Amino acid sequence: MRKISLFFLLISGIIFAQQSVLEQKINSITKDKNATVAVSVHSFEDNIKLSINGDKKLPLLSVFKFHIALTVLNLVDQKKLSLKQNILVTKEDLHENTWSPFRKKYPNGNVEITLEELLQYMVSQSDNNTTDLLIRLAGGTQSVQKFMDKMKVKDFTIKADESKMHEGYEFHYLNTSTTNSLNQLLKNFYDKKMISKTSTSFLMKTMLETTTGANKIVALLPKETPVAHRTGSSGKNEEGLTIAENDIGIITLPNGKHIALSVLVSDSMESEETNTKMVAEIAKVVYENFNK
């Protein structure tokens, strides 16, 4: 019995030392930066967790599209919506001066597209116009909040759609969460506790196909590393303030392990290059720490 206790003490000591080294490396990356940086790490198979500012509520920006996708897919699971149903997108739905690969492809709108394709535009390409369409289909931001509350997602608030956020930078602060909450949501999603197995597989594949944020989590990882992620970025306001430069996701390591990593960079006076480089370097040291 004493040998078993000593063994577990030894293992606990090794894990603690590993966490301490990783925390020091992350702190060295964010040191002296004029920004608030929150980081949460969770190795699923080992159940090793680490967080820095992990309970600090910060703006999500387009990271909230993950929560919206989960809400819509829950309605698909309930047969209230279908991935194959056609949705008419009118020209009035396609606002200008917003990120929209969909509008670039269909500038005049008045085209029918499947719900599946709308979700792919929102999640993989971070399209803002299709996001607001999906929010309306889900029943509004209040319906997204209601589903997250029902699923016991802590420290999450959604009050503004993309159109509202584009009315002024102050509205970027209305949708918030913490990196600890985001990591727990990623774990519950991975464990198929949020939506059905079929919907989980679809959303995982769609997140793996994300084209935005090439300069964040994925930037310094080996090229073929699978990363199912969702990004968010505010750009800079007139004072040079970046309200958010975010990326969250599930990294699959060569050894078969899975790491949830959430990084929220908020209220930064650093350059875009510095902000995104912080996220990329944090992802790199996390990858190296667990890929052993």
Which residue numbers are catalytic? 62, 162
In order, the DSSP letters of 7-45 are: HHHHHHHHHHHHHHHHHHHHHHHHTT-SSEEEEEEEETT
In angstroms, the CA 81 to CA 202 distance is 15
Q: Which residues have a Cβ under 8 Å from the Cβ of 17 and sit 6 or more positions away?
A: none
In angstroms, the CA 25 to CA 11 distance is 21
In angstroms, the CA 23 to CA 44 distance is 18
Q: How many CB atoms lie within 10 A of CB 285?
A: 18
CB 68, CB 144: distance < 8 Å: yes
- Indicate the DSSP class of residue 81: S
Half-sphere exposure of 86 (CA within 13 A, CB side): 6
**Phi, psi for residue 212 in degrees, rounded to 5:** -85, 165
In angstroms, the CA 81 to CA 134 distance is 11
